[in-house]
Structure 1
Amino acid sequence: MTKLNIFRLVLIMVLSYLSDRANGRVNFKGVDEKLKQLNKPAVKTIQSEDGDIIDCVDIYKQPAFDHSVLKNHVIQMKPNFKLKEEKLDTTSFSSKLVVSQTWQKSGSCPDGTVPIRRIQRKDLLRVKSIGRFGRKPQEIVSKSNTTNLKKGLYPSNNTTDVALPTIVNRSAANLVTLGYNYIGAKAEINVWNPNVAADDEFTTAQIWLKAGPGDNFESLETGWTVNPQLYGDRRTRLFAYWTKDSYKSTGCFDLTCSGFVHTNPDVALGAAIEPVSSEFGQQYHVTLGVYMVTLTSMALSHFSKIQTDNAINHYYEQMNMIGLLKRSTLVEWGGQVYSTNVKKTPHTKTAMGSGQFASGLFGNACFIQNPNIVDYSLSLKYPEWVGTWADDYYCYTAYNYQKSYGTLPIFYFGGPGQNPNCP
């Protein structure tokens, strides 16, 4: 082959590559513009041993302030009321609170700044659309059938089954409560590092605070996730999420768009949390919640907490989430797997929770303990009615286990995905 032909071949390959990036995925100009929008000037930069770069950003120059609704906004560091919490015996087993993130080994952020995980060029090059970077894929609702939510193991005042939509591209195993005037939810969520089979799939263990119809809900969410397409690895990471239209065109993970105001100098959204639980070994959990911060009718502010103190870690500030501003009607605790290969054969091997079924119980299955709701009594309390929901039950299961009378149930959930009963 002549040098001229080799040059032509290389040129064709380069042009084809650039065309693919521009038409099929992203172009480099768009990547650079998006990076400039996402990453704010750092007062200090911390290189984490896991490859993350944490920027300590002036608290008033974080991404949330790109939104016009936050012009002249004064950051709220503490809620203007204190929640009362019922102290009930849950269980006698030992689970330790996860109190560290990997990046903290390499430094800390100075006063007046907040840690923000830097979005790198490689992060944007993994996605199909820069415009949807940081967003969950839209839910695809089956029109042919629904999944019935049955009464759970906990004593109930409500015996009516509730029809929930079947989501084609997601599987869930959740504890659910329906009601009215919920202004918050909280739980201790067991931390694991489950397998994710494909780079474009993810698994979560989380809390959802929802309002609105099932196909167009508003939601505030927090928990842990393994999400290789978003984060570039398979580590277990803390996240927060919001949407105003059931993931169609609004919302995002963490601080990848305007929405959450971050206030905690010690916690970075999207950063890895450690340690994680091991089978029949030491168990670890995070304590997380989503609450209304103010009781005024003009503003909606929510925050998620990684520890049970009286400080706001980060909160959501938007004026047009009408349903959640009035009240939440649905709270869910549990796990979710996103894949285009759920509810079909072959099924994805992406796991939920610990990767073991709920029947494995403590030390084997992932658990959520002390799932509480908050209403206008401003008390954290176990819901009057709960039900369990597993819409792909040969692949992932849910079990609200009560050890004995007088103790609160522990909710177990999860599964391996593909297995002999879920081919």
Structure 2
Amino acid sequence: MIYLSCAKAGVQHTRQQLEVQRYLKKLNKPAIKSIKMRPSFQPFDLDDENEVALKKKTSSITQLWHQNGRCPWETIPIRRTKMEDVLRASSIERFGKKRSNAIPNSNSILRDGYIHEHSFALVNGQKYYGTSVFMDVWNPFVQEPGEFSNTQFWVVADPFEDQNTIEAGWHVYPNLYGDNRTRLFIYWTTDNYNRTGCHNLQCSGFIQVNNEIALGSSIYPISSYGGPQYGIDLSLFKEPQTGYWWLQYGKKTLGYWPSTLFSHLSYATSVLWGAEIINFKLNGKHTSTVMGSGHFGKEGHGKASFCSNIKILDEALTPADPQGVVAIAESPNCYDVRNATNFGDLGTHFYYGGPGKNPNCP
């Protein structure tokens, strides 16, 4: 069953936890009218070059809720939050939030014993005003409900202790959704994931203007090993007139983050693309949670996961190939990354992934 609503989302449960009920009423709001606003320019021309590279149109990626209808004009789709969704979280305050040190290259053991592991590529040292990337989509196995596996971009502004990020991609996150489906997601924070920010529309921040795409909804079809490769185009750019950070899904404008939301993100100091898993390290053993396709980047196209046609938006607000890209695998025996290259139909791209626990990753 797909719990999605364009109108008022009724709270359906039998338990009487009043605190959770009040929280659900804040989340499951009445129908929200779309703001009739669009960015003044769209710097990235997506889809066309990726269709050539993959022979699969990004538009063939659909959201399963479309099988049950569409939202009326001037409303937006919102995935309803249920009682059991909130109860899976450690607390109401932590529901829908990432944990601190979730940025790549931290690889630190958190106070609750979780480890974030990343395979990614990054650029820094300049002022960045946006990025675009094509990500092929998979359905990775996730071992424990509280673990997740994602592929995303990070647009980041330091300083570290008060880090601002905007993030978007796809993930499998059983503890957040109650299932193992591959879903579109966004995220943001202004204080290094401590108190601010959330996934999707679970807190105030992101302003959605699109009535066709539901954040947090499952996407289909997905890529298969040795078979067809499917993926999504995502782009983010800062509009000079308003300072808003606009997000696009393929050629569709999803919405924006207001500039007033952030304390440091007048521009990004680094941009990253890649994947992340959480490892519970149960009984001292590495998780079997899969990253990407579950196959190492060295296996290449059609087998490993990839990010391709990567662009950045420079100070002149012109799309450009990123320069000085560095590829990093924090746990290369568990999940690797092939160095980013720039050639052929895939443009700037890299392969990544892995199975997690294996003889070299006990």
Pairwise CA distance, 1:128? 1.3
- Could you say which structure has the higher strand fraction? 1
Which structure's CA Rg is the greater one? 1
In the alignment, structure 1 residue 263 sits paired with structure 2 residue 213: no
Q: Which residue of 1 aligns with 2:257?
A: 316
Q: Which residue of 2 aligns with 1:331?
A: 271
- Cα distance in 1, alignment partners of residues 345 and 213 from structure 2: 36
Q: Which residue of 2 aligns with 1:193?
A: 139
Answer yes or no: is the 8 Å Cα contact 1:187–1:287 preserved in 2: yes
- Cα distance in 2, alignment partners of residues 347 and 332 from structure 1: 25
Q: Aligned to 2:246, which of 269, 285, 303?
A: 303
- Cα distance in 2, alignment partners of residues 250 and 40 from structure 1: 20
Pairwise CA distance, 1:204? 0.7
- Cα distance in 1, alignment partners of residues 68 and 297 from structure 2: 37
Q: Which residue of 2 aligns with 1:392?
A: 331
Q: Which residue of 1 aligns with 2:87?
A: 125
Q: Which residue of 1 aligns with 2:287?
A: 348
SS of the equivalent of 1:305 reads: strand
In the alignment, structure 1 residue 114 sits paired with structure 2 residue 57: no
In the alignment, structure 1 residue 30 sits paired with structure 2 residue 12: no
SS of the equivalent of 1:323 reads: coil
| Deviations, residues 77-135 of structure 1 (Å, cap 9, x unaligned) | 32112316699899855344143100001100111100000001111121110111110
Q: Which residue of 2 aligns with 1:177?
A: 123
Distance 1:283 1:33, change over 3 A: same
SS of the equivalent of 1:312 reads: strand
Q: Aligned to 1:94, which of 28, 36, 55?
A: 55
Q: Which residue of 1 aligns with 2:358?
A: 419
Q: Aligned to 1:366, which of 292, 305, 317?
A: 305
Which letter does structure 2 place at the counterpart of 1:202?
Answer: F
In the alignment, structure 1 residue 237 sits paired with structure 2 residue 211: no
Distance 1:117 1:345, change over 3 A: same
Give me the TM-score of the superposition, normalised by structure 1: 0.75
- Cα distance in 2, alignment partners of residues 198 and 272 from structure 1: 19
Pairwise CA distance, 1:356? 0.8
Answer yes or no: is the 8 Å Cα contact 1:135–1:252 preserved in 2: yes
Answer yes or no: is the 8 Å Cα contact 2:335–2:356 preserved in 1: yes
Distance 1:83 1:76, change over 3 A: farther
Which letter does structure 1 place at the counterpart of 2:139?
Answer: N
- Cα distance in 2, alignment partners of residues 375 and 401 from structure 1: 19
Answer yes or no: is the 8 Å Cα contact 2:116–2:277 preserved in 1: yes
Answer yes or no: is the 8 Å Cα contact 1:202–1:226 preserved in 2: yes
| Deviations, residues 185-236 of structure 1 (Å, cap 9, x unaligned) | 1100000000100000111100100000345411000000100000110000
- Cα distance in 2, alignment partners of residues 412 and 90 from structure 1: 18
Q: Which residue of 2 aligns with 1:222?
A: 168
Pairwise CA distance, 1:360? 1.1
Distance 1:213 1:341, change over 3 A: farther
SS of the equivalent of 2:107 reads: strand
Distance 1:356 1:103, change over 3 A: same
Pairwise CA distance, 1:246? 1.4
Which letter does structure 2 place at the counterpart of 1:306?
Answer: Y
Distance 1:228 1:321, change over 3 A: same
SS of the equivalent of 1:135 reads: coil
Q: Which residue of 1 aligns with 2:231?
A: 285
- The runs of 5 or more residues in structure 2 that have no matched partner are 1-14, 110-114
Distance 1:328 1:267, change over 3 A: same
- Cα distance in 1, alignment partners of residues 79 and 299 from structure 2: 35
Answer yes or no: is the 8 Å Cα contact 1:140–1:167 preserved in 2: no
Q: Aligned to 1:137, which of 99, 121, 141?
A: 99
Distance 1:339 1:389, change over 3 A: same
In the alignment, structure 1 residue 82 sits paired with structure 2 residue 25: no
- Cα distance in 2, alignment partners of residues 334 and 207 from structure 1: 6
Which letter does structure 2 place at the counterpart of 1:105?
Answer: Q
Answer yes or no: is the 8 Å Cα contact 1:398–1:414 preserved in 2: yes
Q: Which stretch shows the higher mean deviation, 398-407 or 105-114?
A: 398-407
Q: Which stretch shows the higher mean deviation, 119-128 or 315-324?
A: 315-324
Answer yes or no: is the 8 Å Cα contact 2:123–2:271 preserved in 1: yes
Q: Which residue of 2 aligns with 1:17?
A: none
Pairwise CA distance, 1:240? 0.5
Answer yes or no: is the 8 Å Cα contact 2:130–2:237 preserved in 1: yes
- Cα distance in 2, alignment partners of residues 90 and 116 from structure 1: 29
Pairwise CA distance, 1:380? 1.7
Q: Which residue of 2 aligns with 1:5?
A: none
- Cα distance in 2, alignment partners of residues 417 and 27 from structure 1: 40
Which letter does structure 1 place at the counterpart of 2:150?
Answer: T
